Amino acid sequence: METYNLTSVSEFHLMGFSEDPDLQLVLFGLFLSMYLVTVLGNLLIIQVVISDFHLHTPMYFFLSNLSLSDICFISTTVPKMIVDILTHSRVISYVGCLTQMSFYTFFGCMDHMLLTVMGYDRKRWVSVNCVLKKEYENEDEDDEEDENKHQIMNQY
């Protein structure tokens, strides 16, 4: 009769930063403040883009989507870490870990894709504006040449 290994993983034990209770309070305050500043700053960017009609352009649309993606990205790991520091719990379930890593990967890829699209949009904007600026300068030069010819003809 053969024996089989029936070991299964149901939870992971997380390693913390420190076991010192005084240092854990400092870490809790530090991570909570960084999380709140990040979320509130990104919400402010979204609010400004929505409320100002002049910012309803593709670049600011992508910027507000990037801010929303950043809020979701940071909210996949930091709240769990803050709760773990506060409750001295170092356990995460297998399903919870897979869910957290899936969202972390998804929102990380979304950030990268939005930055790529923003870079492409910016490059397209610069190239179109350079062409238009050259055409405008050429028109100005043509106008100056026409005025010079007109002045020369009026002298005779």
pLDDT tens profile 31-50: 999 999 999 999 999 999 99
Is residue 71 in a domain? Answer: yes
Range of the domain at 30: 21-154
Is residue 60 in a domain? Answer: yes
pLDDT tens per residue, range 98-110: 999 999 999 999 9
Is residue 11 in a domain? Answer: no
* pLDDT at position 156: 46
Is residue 10 in a domain? Answer: no
Q: Could you tell me the pLDDT band of residue 124, with boundaries at 50, 70 and 90?
A: low
Stated pTM of the model: 0.70
Q: Could you tell me the pLDDT band of residue 75, with boundaries at 50, 70 and 90?
A: very high
Question: What does the pLDDT average to over 99-123?
Answer: 89
Burial of 52 (0-12, 13-18, 19+ CB in 10 A): exposed
Q: Are 89 and 12 in contact (CB under 8 A)?
A: no
